Amino acid sequence: MQKSLNIDPGKCTGCLQCEMACSYEHTGTFNPSRSYIKVFTFHHEGRFAPYTCTQCDEAWCMRACPVDAISVDMATGAKVVSDDKCVGCKVCTIACPFGTINYSQATGKVVKCDLCGGDPQCAAACPTDAITYVDADWTGYDRMLASAAKSLPSAEATAG
C-alpha cells in the first residue's frame, strides 16, 4: 500500500522541527536551509504552512528531465533524483508547478523530497501531527470530502 505525506497547516506551530530532521537525514547537519521541506510563514496572520514535493502522479519534473535522472521508487512511490545521473541543469525546477525541487549549490545537483525511503523524518519529528505519513488513498477524495463537510452549514441552520 502506497503512503504519502499529509500536511495540515492548521496544526503547524512553526517550530521547524521538520526542517531540522530533514536536513539532518539528508546532509548530516541541522541546517533548515538545506532541508527538502520548508515551512512558509504568513507573518501578518501568525500562521505557518509546511510544504514539500507532493509526489505528483503526473510528475512534470520527471518528464522534463533531459537525462532521466528522476525515477519512481517502486516501494514508496516517491519521485527520486539520482545524483549519478543529475547534471544540475535545473529543468525540473522550472517544470515543477509547486516550486518544491531545489538546486543545491553544495552538490551542483537538484534535491527534492524522497520520503526518506518510506520513513519520512519530517513526519516523525513533527510534535503536533501537522505532518503525518498516511495511506495515499486517504489524502485525496476522502480528505476533500471531510474538509468540505466541516465547512458546510448544518442542515438545521439552513432550513430555519
Q: In the chain, what are the domain boundaries?
A: 1-52+117-145, 55-112
Reported confidence tier of residue 135, pLDDT bands at 50, 70, 90: confident
Cell of 102: 531545489
Cβ pair 44, 80 in contact under 8 A: no
Asked whether this chain's domains 1-52+117-145 and 55-112 adopt the same fold, the reply is yes
Q: Which residue has the cell 501537522?
A: 130
Q: Is 1-52+117-145 CATH 3.30.70.20?
A: yes
DSSP conformation letters of 57-98:
SS-HHHHH-TT--EEE-TTT--EEE-TTT-----HHHHH-TT
Backbone phi, psi, residue 24, to 5°: -65, -40
Angle at 113 between CA 109 and CA 114, to 5 degrees: 95
Q: Looking at the predicted structure, is the pLDDT value of residue 3 above 70?
A: yes
CATH 3.20.20.70 is the classification of domain 55-112:
no
| Rounded distance between C-alpha atoms, residue 97 and residue 53, angstroms | 10
Least confident of 59-63, 133-137, 151-155: 151-155
Q: How confident is the model at residue 91 (pLDDT cuts 50, 70, 90)?
A: very high
